[in-house]
């Protein structure tokens, strides 16, 4: 059972923000970077009435549950973290029972709701953003070639449920085993639709490949052999492409993928490096944004960390661009579009939205 406050607290007390990250165990270096990023937000955004208390989640379910209990015993107003799905599953019920909002770093949608949020970058949103950009430049017919992994299935399900409403038709779908040692040429060939009346039309205008690293490059290299010409069919991806050296594979050069806007994240990297040395891991920005959001809410009278305050439909401006927390517990983000360059860094070709168009 979560610890209960000993008695009523003064209304003018400082805000207590608990940060749950792995400070021991194999993931301690990542946890330390998340703590650094949170401290950076504290220094830049908070006032003297803001207290950030770190608790070691140890990277485990047991550690996260104990950390939540410790945070609640310290009268935490809001909990930031934990990091991993297994931790969030253990921590979420305790925070929910205590009525304390929790901003976790996971992408696991099964743990969210009731004041518990997942701040992680959701792959389905990224896939839909890049597919919708392709539609906007007259490429409305989409095919999907996905690994038979949880990630691949999440992308397929999200596109299947949301793409048609945006005028995107899914013209083909194939899964492949990412661990298979055999050639996947036949699987790719099944995507191609032959029509004697349109000999140069394979049945789609864009193909999304939600994979990463060497797997991504191997799959892309086989496309031309199976009749899919990347000069004619635009290849699309998610944030997995960001660190996959996609430009090393000629077939991927010129492809598009969704990612947070580059300028603000680069500025964050530079500030982090100046303060702590070394480049921060990709997820460090989540800790910064969560802490900055808590600091903003702490300054607004009356101080309010409730779901009603967190679910502001206008959203918040963060290191990774515009985001808003939805009542279902997911984070909706505004992504930019980048184009893979064969030499040098990828190029941002379409900005992230400056505002959310529809409220909920």
Q: How many residues does the chain have?
A: 360
10, pLDDT greater than 70: no
360, pLDDT greater than 70: no
Say what the pLDDT of residue 45 is. 92
% of the chain exceeding 90 in pLDDT: 81
Window from 125-134, 185-194, 228-237, 327-336 with minimum mean pLDDT: 185-194
Say what the pLDDT of residue 4 is. 43
Mean per-residue pLDDT, 82-99: 96
Say what the pLDDT of residue 5 is. 44
12, pLDDT greater than 70: no
339, pLDDT greater than 70: yes
pTM, 2 dp: 0.89
Q: How many other C-beta atoms can be found within 10 angstroms of the C-beta atom of residue 258?
A: 29
109, pLDDT greater than 90: no
13, pLDDT greater than 80: no
6, pLDDT greater than 60: no
14, pLDDT greater than 90: no
7, pLDDT greater than 50: no
359, pLDDT greater than 70: no
**What gap in Å lies between CA 164 and CA 168, rounded to an integer?**
5
> 238-297, pLDDT tens digit by residue?
999 998 899 999 999 999 999 999 888 899 999 999 999 999 999 999 999 999 999 999
Say what the pLDDT of residue 1 is. 44
Q: Taking a C-beta distance cutoff of 8 angstroms, is the pair 111, 92 a contact?
A: yes
Which comes out higher in pLDDT, residue 302 or 339?
Answer: 339
**What gap in Å lies between CA 41 and CA 248, rounded to an integer?**
36
**Structure token digits, residue 213:** 């690293």
Q: Do 15-120+263-329 and 123-259+337-350 show the same overall fold?
A: yes
> From the centroid of its chain, how far is CA 118?
9
Given CATH 3.30.420.40, say whether it is the number of domain 15-120+263-329.
no
Tell me which residue of 103, 77, 57 sits closest to 323, measured CA to CA: 103
Mean per-residue pLDDT, 203-222: 95
Mean per-residue pLDDT, 36-43: 97
The CATH number, out of the four listed (3.90.1150.10, 1.20.120.1230, 3.40.50.2300, 1.25.40.10), of the domain defined by the range 123-259+337-350: 3.40.50.2300
11, pLDDT greater than 70: no
What Cα–Cα distance (Å) separates residue 135 from each residue in 67, 201, 306, 331? 46, 17, 38, 24
Average pLDDT, the chain: 91
Q: Domain map of the chain by residue range?
A: 15-120+263-329, 123-259+337-350
Tell me which residue of 86, 100, 94 sits closest to 58, measured CA to CA: 86
Would you place residue 181 in the very low, low, confident or very high pLDDT band (cuts 50, 70, 90)?
Answer: low
């Amino acid at each position: 059972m979560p610890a209960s406050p000993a008695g009523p607290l003064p209304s003018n007390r400082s805000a207590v923000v608990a940060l749950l990250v792995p400070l021991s165990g194999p993931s301690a270096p990542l946890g330390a970077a998340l703590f650094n990023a949170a401290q950076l937000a504290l220094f830049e955004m908070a006032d003297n009435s803001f207290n950030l208390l770190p608790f070691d989640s140890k990277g485990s379910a047991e550690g996260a549950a104990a950390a939540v209990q410790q945070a609640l015993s310290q009268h935490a107003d809001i909990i930031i973290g934990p990091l991993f799905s297994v931790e969030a599953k253990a921590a979420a019920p305790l925070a929910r029972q205590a009525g304390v909002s929790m901003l976790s770093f996971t992408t696991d949608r099964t743990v969210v709701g009731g004041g518990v949020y997942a701040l992680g970058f959701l792959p389905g949103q990224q896939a839909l953003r890049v597919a919708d950009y392709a539609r906007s430049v007259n490429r409305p017919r989409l095919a999907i070639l996905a690994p038979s992994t949880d990630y691949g299935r999440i992308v397929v399900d999200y596109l299947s449920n949301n793409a048609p409403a945006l005028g995107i038709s899914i013209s083909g779908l194939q899964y492949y085993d990412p661990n298979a040692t055999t050639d996947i040429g036949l699987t790719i060939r099944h995507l191609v639709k032959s029509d004697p009346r349109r000999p140069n039309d394979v049945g789609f205008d864009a193909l999304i490949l939600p994979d990463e690293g060497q797997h991504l490059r191997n799959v892309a290299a086989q496309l031309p052999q199976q009749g899919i010409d990347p000069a004619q069919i635009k290849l699309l991806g998610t944030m997995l492409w960001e660190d996959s050296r996609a430009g090393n594979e000629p077939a991927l050069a010129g492809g598009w993928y969704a990612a947070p806007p580059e300028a603000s994240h680069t500025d964050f990297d530079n500030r982090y490096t100046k303060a702590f040395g070394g480049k921060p891991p990709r997820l460090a920005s989540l800790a910064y944004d969560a802490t900055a959001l808590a600091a903003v809410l702490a300054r607004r009278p009356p101080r309010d960390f409730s779901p009603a305050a967190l679910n502001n439909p206008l959203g918040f401006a963060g290191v990774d661009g515009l985001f808003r927390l939805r009542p279902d517990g997911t984070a909706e983000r505004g992504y930019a579009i980048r184009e893979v360059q064969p030499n040098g860094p990828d190029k941002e070709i379409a900005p992230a939205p400056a505002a959310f168009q529809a409220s909920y």
